[in-house]
């Protein structure tokens, strides 16, 4: 009976999604490269956690140290699909990483987009760095991964003639009570 129960014990699948998975994409735009409207070619940051939480933010002030706000939560099936995509594109193994330094120190050149793809799983962390001129676009694998991350975060392409709204009205002056009349 003991031998039968040992055979029936669940085995950890080597192909399964790691329970400590983190996938991070940072896009940095150099001077003159900040006019693109596609979310995967705009300066921003997207983070995917193994529990399905997706954080995302776009804008000129976003950098590698930015911690974006929550965009949505994926189902575990969707997290597994993202990990399968990363494996098929060659990003799931630390041996294929091409950058060992601190990615926060990287700066894009003028007219260049810089992608920093960071993965963490199995108590390891590895980085891929891709640079390309803004008018060309990324290589196939990098472009596919960053587009998938942008879609997972519900980031959409802006029409060329539309900017994001800026809110200037923050309500009544909270210090009006303390000011002298007529001031």
pTM of the predicted model as reported, rounded to 2 decimal places: 0.77
**Region 154-176: what's the mean pLDDT?**
66
Distances, alpha carbon 158 to alpha carbons 39, 71, 113, 161, in Å:
8, 17, 18, 8
118 vs 25: CA distance, rounded Å: 6
pLDDT by residue (tens digit) across 148-160? 999 999 987 766 5
pLDDT at residue 117 is higher than 60: yes
Q: Burial of 80 by CB count in 10 Å (0-12 exposed, 13-18 middle, 19+ buried)?
A: middle
Q: Where are the alpha helices (DSSP H) in the chain?
A: 2-7, 76-89, 140-152
| pLDDT for the residue numbered 170 | 64
Please report, for the chain, the start and end positions of each structural domain, with discontinuous segments joined by +.
18-159
Per-residue confidence (pLDDT) for residue 1, from 0 to 100: 43
| CATH code, residues 18-159 | 3.30.1560
The model's pLDDT over 66-112, given as tens digits with 9 standing for 90+, comes to 899 999 999 999 999 999 999 999 999 889 888 888 888 899 999 89
């Amino acid at each position: 009976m003991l031998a039968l129960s040992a055979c029936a014990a669940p085995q950890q699948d080597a192909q399964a999604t790691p329970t400590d998975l983190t996938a991070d994409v940072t896009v940095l735009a150099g001077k003159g490269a900040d006019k693109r409207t596609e979310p995967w070619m705009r300066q921003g940051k997207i983070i995917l956690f193994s529990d399905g939480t997706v954080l995302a933010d776009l804008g000129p002030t976003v950098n590698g140290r930015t911690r974006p706000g929550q965009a949505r939560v994926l189902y575990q099936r969707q997290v597994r699909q993202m990990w399968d995509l990363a494996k098929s594109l060659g990003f799931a193994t630390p041996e294929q990483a091409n950058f060992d330094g601190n990615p926060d120190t990287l700066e894009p050149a003028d007219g260049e987009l810089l992608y920093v793809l960071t993965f963490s799983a199995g108590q390891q962390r590895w980085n891929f760095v891709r640079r390309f001129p803004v008018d060309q676009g990324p290589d196939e694998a990098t472009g596919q991964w960053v587009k998938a991350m942008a879609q997972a975060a519900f980031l959409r392409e802006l029409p060329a003639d539309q900017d994001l709204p800026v809110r200037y009205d923050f309500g009544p002056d909270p210090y009006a009570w303390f000011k002298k009349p007529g001031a």
